[in-house]
A and B are shown apart, each in its own frame.
Chain A
């Protein structure tokens, strides 16, 4: 590609506000299916008045155990770098029930074969695409020839392959069956990339999945002294993981059943079938919108919303406004909007049409628009499942962006969402500012991307007087600094492991082997590898909790 395309891309940045704003209003398609309930208010016209009832809030669950504080990371950092993007360490195997009669030898291999550059031809790329018609395949080929006129491109990765093998020995005179738990750091959106594969003596081992809660915290926009926790502070070092895993409560929580919110009653206001004049800037209708206004006592009522994208919260005045743009024919296919009211019901709900979004008092009203509002009683579990199922389906689709795509079942996703909502959201006794609005969508994304510790669980039988080898194989991302930050670690990739954190398994020995593939030069480490002198396997000291390896790509030809 040429500098001209980059110049054109940059010039596009100067497009008019009208075009940018118009396209921003093109919301993603929402679910088509709608629940079939009796409509208590059919096609309420603009400014319809809605009656209210009364409910109560119960069953609030306290902050999850083990979550680190919201400051700036743990103390006692070793000589390893603190990278701007931290992938998390490789953790050791543990047993669900402590068992002193089982011992283990751990042998871990760090394999840099993904670093080897590989030529991928356009033909290979297109041939690997499945389900294309001849015409589509031809089109894809033309597209690739345009993108890569050299006929292909070189592909490499800064991930490594990790093989974490445990020889489990049973010196007793009876077979023993133990439940093993293999931990790994991941977000829900990256689970399929870093999911370990377990084998037992070379045969695939079926494993269940346990997902831990958020392993990080929150921070202010203006740094550690800013008390308004608006930003995520993802786990940034192995000490952050130490803080959440060290007392065992984090794992215990992950192994237990998730929260149950079915006993929390909610009053639901469901908005469907909004209609109104089409957007027409020349006619003074730049963004036809529906506003819902109502009164509430903020101390007695909690409102969760879905589908709305503008709001005003007036705690002192006891009012709230929620608004959304009337879906356009080329935008959302079927708008669905909810107010979930917990505690005392809201009062004096009115809906009205306006020529544009926002909640300005002087925005002209808009005739000829309306929305159907249905009020009914339900419970929080039912409603969240109804709202989140389409979100989960959408985020599970193959085209979804890699680090945001879900590869887990709904129940796992739902549990993670509930834990986040109850720990940090409006239903937490310690709501963080990031979630002090009412929009459930904001939390859905965070639930997908935040760092966690997850465990694979499997049963293993170790014969009397014998041994088995359990192996976890996985692709491990690198930790790194952003290149644009121009830190001393530019181009340096970090990989690390912990020797006993969170593990009750008695390891008689641990070794580490480096398969460097001629791709790296070591910048910093505490393993003791010496590539020049052929020291590629070292014995680890169990008293050293954390081992780190920091490398950069070796200069070649």
Chain B
């Protein structure tokens, strides 16, 4: 079913909206959540919660891109779930992602006021726009969707080591870009 029709179902308060959403975007959101939480049970619950959140927010929302809208909800819920379980040392994949993202943190005086998340994201968006398409997809698949390095390597026909090096260069590039923009985290 086309996205606009699914959104119409939400607006009509027709519960088939959830069915159609799960049919079309369930696998993508489960995969995304699984990578962050590291648990299929958590992922299943996060996806269920995503559908509920979608139900609660449409209306009034009418997202321009339903796929990104749902993935964004699923990602946020999955991070919350991962945080809650961090004490149990589960979801180690996200720990590794955070370790890597340390490379991207710009140097800045600690007394400065931190930027809003939305402002930081806008700066990253601008940096992404300047990349070639493959680099852009590689970065977003790794740090937004949480894909593993070896999976990315297989996807693009590269070695894991080469892919890790490339991601490292991208992280260094992002750090320089954020520093240029004066981003404070």
Contact = CB atoms under 8 A, between A and B. Distances in A.
B99 A146 contact: yes
A360 B5 CA distance: 8
B117 A19 contact: no
* Interface pairs A-B: 3 shortest CB-CB: A484-B84, A14-B121, A23-B140
15 contacts: A2-B102, A10-B117, A11-B120, A12-B143, A19-B128, A20-B65, A22-B137, A139-B165, A146-B99, A147-B96, A328-B133, A331-B155, A360-B4, A360-B5, A401-B34
Contact of A483 (B63, B87, B114): B87
Interface string B89-110: 0000011111101101100000
B169 interface: no
Interface residues of A, number: 65
Given A13-B75, A26-B137, A333 B120 contact: no
A543 interface: no
Interface in A407-447: 433, 437, 441-442, 445
Given A23-B141, A230-B22, A15 B121 contact: yes
B2 A4 contact: no
A483 B90 CA distance: 10
A13 B121 contact: yes
Contacts of B172: none
A84 to B, nearest CB: 7
Contacts of A221: 18, 22, 48, 51
Contacts of B134: 330
Contacts of A2: 102, 105
A85 interface: yes
Interface in B54-101: 63-65, 67-69, 71-72, 75-76, 79-81, 84-85, 87-88, 94-99, 101
B48 A483 contact: no
B179 interface: no
Nearest to A133: B161
A358 interface: yes
B125 interface: yes
Contacts of B113: none
Nearest to A361: B2
A406 to B, nearest CB: 15
A29 B157 contact: yes
Interface residues of B, number: 81
Interface string B1-45: 111110000000000001100111011101000110001111011
Interface in A24-61: 24, 26, 28-29
A433 B19 contact: yes
Contacts of B22: 221, 230
A484 B81 contact: yes
Contacts of A77: none
Contacts of B4: 358, 360
A23 B144 contact: yes
A399 B148 contact: yes
A21 interface: yes
A385 interface: no
A4 B105 contact: yes
Nearest to B149: A399
B85 A17 contact: no
Contact of B42 (A9, A330, A482): A482
B160 to A, nearest CB: 8
Interface in A97-145: 136, 139, 143
B98 A15 contact: no
Contacts of A231: 44, 48
Contacts of A279: 133
A228 interface: yes
B177 interface: no
Nearest to B123: A11
B151 interface: yes
A29 B157 CA distance: 9
A530 interface: no
Task: Pick the most buried of A5, A404, A445: most chain B CB atoms within 10 A of its CB.
Answer: A5
B99 A5 contact: yes
Contacts of A441: 27
Given A22-B136, A228-B19, A358-B2, A12 B144 contact: yes
